[in-house]
Amino acid sequence: MLKLRTLVPVLFLALGVSAMAEDASVPLTGAHLCCGKCEKAAAKAVEGTGAKAAIADKTITVTAADAAAAQKAVDALVEAGFWAISGKDGVAAKDNSGVKAGAAKRLELTGVHQCCGKCEKAILAAVKGVKGVEGAAVNGNSVVVEGEFDGAEVVAALHAAGLHGKAK
């Protein structure tokens, strides 16, 4: 039978290891959340990743068991057409747009989150602000940009607006 002298340090060690178990809470700011539909779409994107998303004051807080699960949730948000800045080292949105820096005359990005007129206005304002963009049109969750511009600058402008898409 274990003596109390032996059992007490073992219990403290067990409690300490339990307390050190990683619980990743990641605040994400800057995502395009103009309406309740945007918030629902962001929360839905995180479902099935092993994480939960709470949205308040234009911040998405992802809570997961560890950083890997939190990263999976952020990846799912990017796939759903959102872009956000992470408040946790080691967890970040990753640009998988497939757009390379350099001159472009036409660029079509698909999968950009767009659920309402405010979203469309945000998309158009972002891309039309890029030097050399002569025109842009939103069709569902796609945006087509035309002119003589740098494709990477268009993606950066969308990111600044809290949105993301992939080259078609």
Neighbour tally for 138: CB within 10 Å: 18
State whether 78 and 128 are in the same domain: no
pLDDT of residue 22: 58
State whether 35 and 68 are in the same domain: yes
Q: What is the pLDDT of residues 65-121, one digit of tens each?
A: 999 999 999 999 999 999 999 999 999 999 999 999 999 999 999 999 999 999 999
State whether 108 and 56 are in the same domain: no
Q: Residue 96: inside a domain, yes or no?
A: no
Q: Residue 113: inside a domain, yes or no?
A: yes
Nearest to 73 by CA among 35, 115, 25, 40: 25
Measured CA to CA, the distance from residue 135 to residue 128 in angstroms comes to: 7
- Domain of residue 136, residue span: 103-167
Residues of the chain above pLDDT 90, percent: 86
Q: What is the pLDDT of residues 110-124, one digit of tens each?
A: 999 999 999 999 999
Mean pLDDT of the chain: 90
In sequence order, what are the beta bridge partners of 82? 163
In contact, 111 and 87? CB cutoff 8 Å: no
Q: How many residues does the chain have?
A: 168
Q: Residue 91: inside a domain, yes or no?
A: no
pLDDT of residue 8: 44
Q: Residue 48: inside a domain, yes or no?
A: yes
Residue 14 has pLDDT above 60, yes or no: no
State whether 114 and 69 are in the same domain: no
Who has greater pLDDT, 166 or 14? 166
State whether 125 and 77 are in the same domain: no
Residue 18 has pLDDT above 90, yes or no: no
User: What CATH number does the domain containing 140 carry?
Assistant: 3.30.70.100
State whether 107 and 82 are in the same domain: no
pLDDT of residue 12: 42
In contact, 65 and 50? CB cutoff 8 Å: yes
Residue 7 has pLDDT above 60, yes or no: no
Q: Residue 12: inside a domain, yes or no?
A: no
Nearest to 82 by CA among 115, 51, 107: 115
Q: Residue 66: inside a domain, yes or no?
A: yes
Q: What is the pLDDT of residues 39-62, one digit of tens each?
A: 999 999 999 999 999 999 999 999
Q: Into how many domains does the chain fold?
A: 2
State whether 33 and 59 are in the same domain: yes
